[in-house]
Chains A and B, each alone.
Chain A
Amino acid sequence: MKFYKNILIPIILFNVLFMSTIYGQADNTVAAEPAFVFDMNGVLMIVAILLLIPLALLGSLFSYEIKRFLNELKSSNHGKSGMIILLLFSSIGLYAQDAVAAKAPSGLFQNFNGQTYTLLFLIALEILVMVFFIYQIFKILRPKLDLTATERQPSWWDKMNAFRPIEEEAVLDAGHNYDGIRELNNMTPPWFTITFLGSILFAIVYMYRYHYAHSAPLSIQEFDMEMKAAAKEDEIRLSLQANQVDENNVKIMDAASIDAGKAIFEEKCAACHQKHGGSMPGGVGPNLTDAYWLHGGGLKDIFKTIKYGWPEKGMIAWQDQLSPVQIAQTANFIHSIKGSNPANAKEPQGDVYKEEAAAAEPAKVDSAQVKK
């Protein structure tokens, strides 16, 4: 019965993992996409399902081997099952290659999402369980295999550790006896001593480089280098970027841009302003759909408010999280919902805003303070 449990456990785990996949995916499903795309995740899922076949085979072989082992303790036809195991080994090799191949085209971790990771984890787990089965099967077979083993020459392992044959143990006895515990006086493995000395050398070189030769950057120097590199990238990008939009030149944009702004708004702004932008009675953010504005209702004002925020009132600055274009799109969306007056919105705050009056007014002085 134990072996059926051993097969059941992976199946239960599979279910649990699958549930977690769904959990992880729930927030970023995109409705418009087709139900199944044959992408990396698809390949991985197929691999994961295919792996269940050798897994089940191994599981049943495992249970068969154990039963056989118990029934015919002195049987001698272990060669046959050995072949089966070897075959299975090679098949695992193939599958493992599949998994690696599926991973390769994605480059870095760019295309990975929760599902990918879960699937990779699942495949790793399946391989692990298979290794466990194989190990167990070999364990059952080994006592018999050992019978045929002959006297061996010292292996690389013996040489590496400078092992002395166990028969010579008496020579090495340190002569201690503590509550029946004896001690040998084997030499420390040569690689141990060499690596230890190597690590000491590493430590000396490390301290020398960082604090004497100054040939390696300390934390803050590293930071300065990183920021410099980022600034350079920024410069290159900005020079290439045609749409250098800011609060002084933001324009009314098309419907597609307003839609993009709507998506951003619903993701980032709805926590305080609700999805419809009208906030709610007692809500945190002000109502953005009425005629009353705290910091001006013109497109440029809205752009500025999003970009720099009004931190003392709870509106955070978004310039590090949204690109100028995204801010422009969001500002356009907010500008577009003026007067939509959704149900259950927040009461008015601030002054009535008139488009022309603001256009004549120069930019407000206090925004400079908010700027870095």
Chain B
Amino acid sequence: MNIEKFSYDNKMPRLFAMACVFWGAVGMLLGVIAAFQLAFPVLNFSEYLPHLAFGRLRPVHTNAVIFAFVGNGIFTAIYYALPRLLKTSMWNNTLSKIHFWGWQIIIVLAAVTLLMGYTTGKEYAELEWPIDILITLIWVVFGVNMFGTILTRRERHLYVAIWFFIASWVTVAMLHIVNSFEMPVSLFKSYSWYAGVQDALVQWWYGHNAVAFFLTTPYLGLMYYFLPKAANRPVYSYRLSIVHFWSLIFIYIWAGPHHLLYTALPDWAQSLGTAFSIMLILPSWGGMLNGLFTLRGAWDKVREDPILKFFVVAVTCYGMATFEGPLLSLKNVNAISHYSDWTVAHVHIGALGWNGFLTFGMMYWLIPRLYNTQLYSKKLASQHFWIGTLGILLYAIPMYWSAFRSYFMMKAFTPEGQLQYQFMDVVQTIVPFYIIRAIGGTIFLIGVFMMIYNLVKTAKQGSFVESETGEAPPLEKNYVAPSNSIWHSFIERKPVLLLVLSLIVVGIGGLIEIVPTFLVKENIPTIASVKPYTPLELQGRDIYLREGCYNCHSQMIRPFRYEVKRYGEYSKAGEFVFDHPFQWGSKRTGPDLARIGGKYGDSWHFNHMLDPQSMAPGSIMPSYPFLFDKDIDKASTNSKIHAMRKMGVPYPNGYESIAVEDLEKQAKQIATGLKENKIEISEDKEIVALIAYLQRLGKDIKLKK
């Protein structure tokens, strides 16, 4: 048998690790700023410039933490673990470099464009079409490199971590491509291909499974490598790995509609979302059990070793979040949690606890090994652990509390049958909780800086090992499996089969939910009185998207007495057929806007956008003075109408050529109306378009009634 020698490259994992920690600190810092903005609106700085207001900053925070921090964390793990698990080098070093730098360029482009207001208006998929294409290309580069490595391996069977990496790769590719179908209008403007209910379904199929296949399954792979390594214990159950891997990826994909309970989504799809969410508990817990039980016989080490402490809390947070998630999918619980801070607490248990702590544990394990030294300070790492845990608690508990408090206030009726509290009463009650939450986040961030210091010191005291050598015999051509091997080992020998099977398994749920929603007419009953937006309203809607209003305002009134009394008739599926993209939102920091049209006068909106506190004392909304200076981008009207018509919005043929005329007419009308109220504003300003849009919202159906 001839033994082959090869090298494990450490440069790529180190680069990814540095990027992961750097973007992690940036992303979390933005989160802390956004958290304080909710308590102190002056921190939006929107008096001076539009870029830092909450509506623009929050998408940068979420994108940075998910795709930059966790993304680079995934790649660190894969570039370190994959070659070692397969006894080979990474397939192609050039592709590795393209992957690394390409991904960092995407992150920078994402941050810059989002702050500038270029957004598709779909949560966690805000990036505009050129960046979407770039992501697809880099993802393919990554996939080719990963599969090249797998196909040139010297280890016959694939370890469970690699199953998770493969399934994650193929599912993320599918989700990203399907959800990003959009009609470009210009270089940095596009409209979602889907509209209304369909757009919502596709978006949350994507959004939910971005959590599943970007934040969860790759990190399970990461756990399956680093946890047994750090504990020096065998993985508890190979059988459990098989059961929970396949059940997890099959069931996860169905659960998306639980983000749309009590909305205008067809009932059958909502019920499927709930039913599959409940079935998801045990497959998720399979990962937690395999992680925790692997530590059996090593609990004495957990007391000593901060790395294992991080892993234990991470896995426990994973277990908590994956139990809580299905709980939130029950309709009666969702009635409380949806649009509330509960959801925010829930995702942060996952993000801070599971992704954060697992990443920190990995870094404390990995960096000393890359530099052939010991960790600079175990004590500091231990302190980081405690401070991080405190940060998570201080973050989550006030958010749970505020969610229940606001729910009980929102639904309270006086004995006379009137709503007991105004929306503003609820906002003011919740602000103190926002402050505590922001402090919790700050504490967590301080822990991260302690880690960075510790890691830098570690690197300085050691010397970087650029590559390590390994040796193994090549795989023999003719392999006969031993007669006692189990059926699943066949799949473990065939990576392409594993890839195809994964795609089939994750494809089923999506197809069954999405295809009927597009094809069966009864799912979205049309309403004759619902008409396309006027050109001015369309421009106003694009401003609404640009400023990220959907981050705080929903446009979906659920069928509850207290919502109908507060906001008006509950929303119907047919009302959204021209909404490219849908703007139902997922959080109500401000009130619902689905039927804001006509509730206040134009002058109210004018003053409110200029200085929200003047019209609504105690409001935490940022002011938008720049809308009063900027001119409406009339030149784009033509192509916007054209794009809409191509997607089936029934503007008359040739309407493009007269659209601007209509726009100016309507703008003049609004400006004249404002003048009667002693308000002077040029009809060319963006505020006019925004008022036109807001005054239109929810009116179609009132006309009919």
Contacts and interface: CB of A to CB of B under 8 A. Distances in A.
A182 B294 CA distance: 11
B417 A182 contact: no
A321 interface: yes
Interface size class of A (residues with CB under 8 A): 35 or more
A24 B428 contact: yes
Contacts of B276: 203
A284 B237 contact: no
B615 A180 contact: no
Interface residues of B, number: 91
A181 B559 contact: no
Given A163-B296, A188-B239, A226-B561, A271 B418 contact: no
A17 B436 contact: yes
Nearest to B235: A183
Question: Dominant SS at the B interface?
Answer: helix
Given A226-B561, A227-B561, A323-B414, A311 B598 contact: yes
A184 B236 contact: yes
B604 A182 contact: no
B681 interface: no
B85 A178 contact: yes
Interface in B556-579: 558-561, 564-566, 570
A313 interface: yes
A161 B293 contact: yes
A192 B285 CA distance: 9
A121 B397 contact: yes
A358 interface: no
A200 to B, nearest CB: 6
A178 B155 contact: yes
A174 B600 contact: no
Interface in A1-51: 9, 16-17, 20-21, 23-24, 27
Contacts of B229: 179-181
Contact of B238 (A142, A180, A185, A227): A185
B558 to A, nearest CB: 8
Nearest to A174: B238
Contacts of B393: 128
Interface string B537-565: 00000000000000000000011110011
Interface centre among B238, B270, B281, B390 (most CB of A within 10 A): B238
B559 A206 contact: no
A126 B404 CA distance: 21
A220 B238 contact: no
B521 interface: no
B240 to A, nearest CB: 5
B518 interface: no
Interface string B590-627: 00000000111111100100000011111000000000
A82 interface: no
A24 B429 contact: yes
B159 A181 contact: yes
A294 to B, nearest CB: 12
Nearest to A224: B559
A323 B238 contact: no
Contacts of B390: 9
Contact of A20 (B228, B289, B435): B435
A176 B157 contact: yes
A150 B81 CA distance: 40
A271 B616 contact: yes
A20 B235 contact: no
Interface centre among A124, A139, A184 (most CB of B within 10 A): A184
Contact of B159 (A176, A188, A315): A176
A128 B614 CA distance: 42
B262 A121 contact: no
Nearest to A185: B238
B530 interface: no
B415 to A, nearest CB: 7
B267 A218 contact: yes
B85 A311 contact: no
B235 A181 contact: yes
A24 B402 CA distance: 12
B509 interface: no
B432 A192 contact: no
Contacts of A311: 598-601
A199 B278 contact: yes
A269 to B, nearest CB: 12
B397 A124 contact: yes
B687 to A, nearest CB: 16
Contact of A187 (B239, B422, B564, B598): B239
A216 to B, nearest CB: 9
Interface centre among A17, A21, A176, A316 (most CB of B within 10 A): A176
Contact of A185 (B237, B408, B417, B598): B237
A142 B276 CA distance: 43
Contacts of A268: 422
Interface centre among B225, B272, B603 (most CB of A within 10 A): B603
A254 interface: no
B603 A314 contact: yes
B512 interface: no
Given A173-B234, A314-B601, 6 more contacts: A16-B436, A124-B397, A186-B236, A207-B271, A211-B268, A312-B601
For the complex of A and B, the 8 pairs showing the least CB-CB separation, nearest first, are A314-B601, A223-B559, A20-B432, A203-B275, A196-B282, A182-B234, A323-B416, A178-B159
29 contacts: A9-B390, A23-B432, A24-B431, A117-B405, A121-B401, A124-B397, A139-B303, A142-B303, A174-B238, A180-B229, A181-B159, A181-B225, A181-B235, A186-B236, A188-B240, A195-B281, A196-B282, A206-B274, A210-B267, A211-B267, A222-B559, A223-B559, A237-B416, A237-B417, A284-B601, A316-B599, A320-B566, A321-B418, A323-B414
